[in-house]
Amino acid sequence: MILTRGGASRVAFDPGAPASLVEAPIIALSNIVKSYMMGGVEVLATRSVSLTVVRGEFVAVMGASGSGKSTLMNIIGCLDIPTSGHYSLDGVNIRNLDDQALSRIRNTKIGFVFQGFNLIPRMSALQNVELPMAYAGVKPKERRERAIVALRLVGLGSRLEHFSNELSGGQQQRVSIARAISTNPALILADEPTGNLDSRSSNELMALFTDLHRQGRTIVMITHENDIAEYASRVVELRDGSVIRDQRQRPRLPSVSSNTVTSSQDGDGSEV
Amino acid sequence: MSNMFSNLIMAVRGIGSNWLRTLLTMLGVLIGVASVIVLLAIGTGTSRSIENSIQALGSNTLTVFGSGGSGASTGTQIRNTNLNSASVSLISNANNAPDVQSVSPVITTSVTATNGSSTYTTSVIGSTPSYLVASNYTVSAGRSISTADVTSHSQVIDIGASVASGLFPVGSNPLGQQIELGSARFTIVGLLASKGSTGLTNADAVVIAPYTAVQDQLTGESQSFSELLIQGKSAATLSLAQSEVQSILAAQNDTTVAALPFNVLNQASLITTATSSSKTFTALLGWVAAVSLLVGAIGVMNIMLVTVTERTREIGIRKAIGARKSVVLTQFLIESTVISFMGGVLGAVAGIVVSRFTIAGVKPVLASYSIPLALGVALSVGIVAGFYPAYRAASLRPIDALRYE
């Protein structure tokens, strides 16, 4: 098992934010174990995973299905509690927190981007982006303004009132990215964000992630595709519930810029 | 809370996602609420009509009639029948019976009235002018029989509306005309205003004449009356009046109140009995309606459970992005409450409309309490029936809900 503590504070590629050596890490997992009972047999989904992610990193978590990466993602996303081990997110110790407190943490500290987009049907793009801010108690006028800013940032400034069934897969995923960044979270957690997209939409989406990374946002992305993982600044690979590889890399440059993404997406409304 | 309003909008939007299903669910509550309102209105209408028939007997009256003479007496009976002029003057004396307003001796018989070729079978009441007052008859044309008519044995009559229409052609004026009752000729001096037929008896098929003339011409000379109609001073003192009358009659006949061979019909106690039985009837109808409301409630709960299952993934998303348990609970609770309250409002409207028609011979009377009651019940149905599904939604773990397909 390769532990990451040694080089955790050194960020290989981070032009956006100044790296600070004393700042608390965004994610600090140590000896995380998660076990399930299946048919009376204890199954270890993760066995003693330790991982530290500092501000501004873009980490790709890789692994085949059954490697424990989904379990890890649920734990990092505060959707699940580890059986043992220690986890602190943005300086908050996630331990013995009740349902209500976990909701609050997810709401304020994490922006989720799911594989299935997971927008709420019968709500417009704008309303979907406003939702987490509504749960956080942001005033209607302010959250509307912030939602519009977020949607413009992902290139959907002209699709505010569209419902999710009127948007293409790539556009839906952009709405969910807008929703994830609208609360200005400490961490963007993406679970197979390109899993349901074609290669063109995938490339455009990765250009958007690259932009977010350059702006200094911390991103953890679960993926099983090597070419998607190449956009990250660091790759962590899991197998059988353990980390087998953890290395920094020079991120691949997107083939399209986010500016062209914006204009091409806005100009091509009929694309599904 | 300003969140409440946006919750409401969200709930309405959720409801709107499946209009047909929502409408069918509302229909359950609608039928329940409408039947509560209509059945309670029928109950109230029935008791109102029973009260009216009893009111038609007169206001605050006691009727004393002999139980003797039928052979039911068992040796202890004193003289034969003793409702005579002496009884009338004893009861009329305010010193003896301070709570009695008036006493009217009554002789009833049934005759065939004839006017030329028209005949009409009617009951004839021989009495005094106070009878009309006590039994709520008013004279619509002409005059009432008078005390002078009674003392002079005048053959004058007041006739009821049914008698007038049975004997005289439409448009003619019966006043001043003579008709034959049996073999005797009587002059019509007054027409009685219609009281309407209440229940089984037709209060308009009646002829009222001085009792002296009835004794002379129809029943023959007698010392006794068939009954006494006594009007009390007020409804509150009617039972006092009753005991005064019973004491007087007991003293007059040298017997005790318990052994008195008369029956006393107290209108107030009659109303009490009738009211309590019609209340039972109304309550029974209310229960029937409550059952249909319960069925509606089960419908709401069923649909909310389906909705929660259908929207498990949505619940997962909401919880993942930070919806607290209470927010999800409120959202689904509001949804079920809005459904059943809308059903309740529509049901109230339907109930009010249906209550305007006569149902099974009863004119429904909207009970004032039934509408707020039905709406309140509909509201609580929404909350109670929605609580379990909403709680289930709120308790879903986001990780399970997100995985749900």
Reply yes or no on whether the pLDDT at A219 is more than 90: yes
**Contact yes or no for A214/A244 (Cβ under 8 A):** no
Asked whether the predicted pLDDT for residue A236 surpasses 90, the reply is: yes
Contacts of A140 in chain B (CB under 8 A): 2, 6
Q: Give the model confidence (pLDDT) of A6-34 as tens digits.
A: 333 444 444 444 544 556 788 999 888 98
A123 shares contact with chain B (CB less than 8 Å) = yes
Is residue A114 within 8 angstroms of chain B, CB to CB?
A: yes
Tell if the pTM clears 0.95, that is, is over it.
no
Contacts of B397 in chain A (CB under 8 A): 79
In chain B, what residues touch A77 (CB-CB under 8 Å)?
Answer: 320
Question: Is B311 touching A (CB cutoff 8 A)?
Answer: no
- B327 CB near a chain A CB, below 8 Å? yes
Mean predicted lDDT score pLDDT of chain B: 82
For residues B36 and B286, the answer to whether their CB atoms sit within 8 Å is yes
| A144 contact B CB<8A | no
When CB atoms are compared, the residue of B3, B13, B322 closest to A103 is B322
Mean pLDDT of B137-160: 90
Instruction: Please judge whether A104 and B313 are an interchain contact, meaning their C-beta atoms are less than 8 angstroms apart.
Output: no
pLDDT at B357: 81
B401 vs A176, more confident? A176
Return the residue matching tokens 């793009």.
Answer: A125
State the Cα–Cα distance between residues B287 and B291, nearest whole angstrom. Answer: 6
Of A177, A48, A176, nearest to A119 by C-alpha is A176
- Considering only alpha carbons, which residue of chain B is nearest residue A136? B322
- Give the helix/strand (H/E) hosting A151: helix A140-153
Residue of chain B nearest A75, judged by CA positions: B399
Contact A120 B314 (CB under 8 A): yes
What is the C-alpha to C-alpha distance for residues B14 and A268, in angstroms, rounded to an integer? Answer: 31
Edge-first strand listing for the sheet containing A219-223 = A110-113, A187-191, A219-223, A58-62, A234-239, A242-248
Q: Give the minimum alpha-carbon distance from A233 to chain B in angstroms, rounded to a whole number.
A: 26
Backbone dihedral angles phi then psi of residue A148, each to the nearest 5 degrees = -65, -40
Closest CA to B101 of B133, B79, B54: B133
A81 in B contact zone (CB under 8 Å)? no
> In this predicted model, what pLDDT tens digit does every residue of B185-240 receive, in sequence order?
999 999 988 876 555 567 788 899 998 888 888 887 776 788 888 888 877 788 88
In chain B, which residue's Cα lies nearest the Cα of A134?
A: B3
- Distance from the B17 Cα atom to the nearest Cα atom in chain A, whole angstroms: 8
Copy the structure tokens of residue B293: 């409301």
pLDDT of B12 over the 80 cut: no
- Across the interface, whether the CB atoms of B324 and A136 are under 8 A apart is answered no
Q: What is the dihedral of CA A144, A146, A149, A154, to 10 degrees?
A: -100
Chain B 14-33, residues with CB within 8 Å of chain A CB atoms:
14, 16-17
Query: Which of A117-121, A182-186, B67-71, B225-229 has the largest mean confidence?
Result: A182-186
What are the residues whose beta carbons fall under 8 Å from the beta carbon of A181, sequence distance 6 or more? A111, A150, A153, A188, A212, A217
Distance from CA of B49 to the nearest CA of A (A): 55
- pLDDT for A193-203, tens place per residue? 888 888 888 88
pLDDT band at A165 (very low <50, low <70, confident <90, very high): confident
Q: Reduced to 3 states, what is the DSSP secondary structure of residue A253? A: coil
Per-residue pLDDT at A237: 92
Q: Does the pLDDT of residue B74 top 80, yes or no? A: no
Structure tokens that stand for A59 in this block:
């980490």
Mean pLDDT for the stretch of residues B344-361: 85
Residues of A whose CB is below 8 A from B16: 122
Using a CB–CB cutoff of 8 Å, tell me whether B403 touches chain A: no
Task: Give the pLDDT confidence of A124-161 residue by residue, as tens digits.
Answer: 899 999 989 988 888 889 989 999 999 988 888 888 88
Bridge-partner residues for B124, per DSSP?
B109, B207
Give CA angle at A120 (A125, A210), nearest 5°.
55
Do the Cβ atoms of A121 and B314 come within 8 Å?
yes
Nearest CA to CA, how far is A135 from chain B (Å)? 6
> Which chain A residue lies closest to B325 (C-alpha atoms)?
A100
Q: Which residues of B touch A163 (CB under 8 A)?
A: none
All residues of chain A having their beta carbon less than 8 Å from the beta carbon of residue B402 are 79, 114, 118
Residues in chain A: 272
Q: Nearest CB to A135: which of B17, B313, B322? A: B322
Tokens of A211: 């932009």
For B51, the enclosing helix (H) or strand (E) is helix B19-56
Is A79 within 8 Å of B399 when comparing Cβ atoms?
A: yes
Could you give the CA distance from residue A91 to residue A28 in angstroms, rounded to a whole number?
9
Q: Which of A209-213, B71-75, B271-275, B331-335 has the lowest mean pLDDT?
A: B71-75
Query: Smallest Cα–Cα separation from B244: which of B59, B43, B90, B37?
Result: B90
> CA B327, CA B319: separation in Å to the nearest integer?
9
Mean of the per-residue pLDDT values for chain A?
82
CB under 8 Å to B323, separation ≥6 — which residues?
A: A103, A135
Which sign does the torsion angle of CA A259, A262, A264, A266 carry? negative
Residue with the two structure tokens 């174990």: A33
Query: What is the ipTM, given to two decimal places?
Result: 0.81
Using the predicted structure, report yes or no on whether residue A218 has a pLDDT greater than 90: yes
Nearest residue of B to residue A106, measured between CA atoms: B322
Whether A134 contacts chain B with CB within 8 A: yes
Q: What is the 3-state secondary structure (H, E, C) of B72-119?
A: CCCCCCCCCCCCEHHHHHHHHCCCCCCCEEEEEEEEEEEEEEEECCEE
In this prediction, residue B14 carries a pLDDT of: 66
B72: pLDDT strictly greater than 70: no
Delimit the domains of chain A by residue range: 57-65+107-267
Residue A144 and residue A72 in contact, taking contact as beta carbons nearer than 8 Å: no
Stretch B334-344: mean pLDDT, rounded? 87
**Is A136 within 8 Å of B17 when comparing Cβ atoms?**
no
Quote the pLDDT of residue A16. Answer: 46
Q: Which of B3, B321, B399 lies closest to A132 in CB terms?
A: B321
What's the confidence (pLDDT) of residue B201?
65
Pick the CATH number of A57-65+107-267 from 3.90.550.10, 3.40.50.300, 3.90.180.10, 3.40.50.720: 3.40.50.300
Residue B8 forms contact with A (CB below 8 Å): no
- Percent of chain B whose predicted confidence (pLDDT) is above 90: 5
Q: In sequence order, what are the residues at sequence separation of 6 or more whose Cβ sits closer than 8 angstroms to the Cβ of residue A149?
A: none
Cβ <8 Å between A112 and B17: no
pLDDT band at B405 (very low <50, low <70, confident <90, very high): low
Of A49-63, B131-145, B249-263, the range with the highest mean pLDDT is A49-63
**Mutate: best of A120, A127, A139, partner B, most B CBs <10 A:** A120
Lowest mean pLDDT among A52-61, A159-168, B85-94: B85-94
CB-CB neighbors (< 8 A) of B398 in chain A: 79, 106
Nearest to B324 among A103, A112, A132 (CB): A103
**Residues from chain B contacting residue A179 (CB–CB below 8 Å):** 321
Distance, in angstroms, between B27 CA and closest chain A CA? 24
The nearest alpha carbon in chain A to B326 belongs to: A100
Among the ranges A31-40, A218-227, A246-255, B376-385, which has the highest mean pLDDT value? Answer: A218-227
| pLDDT tens by residue, B289-318 | 888 888 888 888 888 888 888 888 888 888
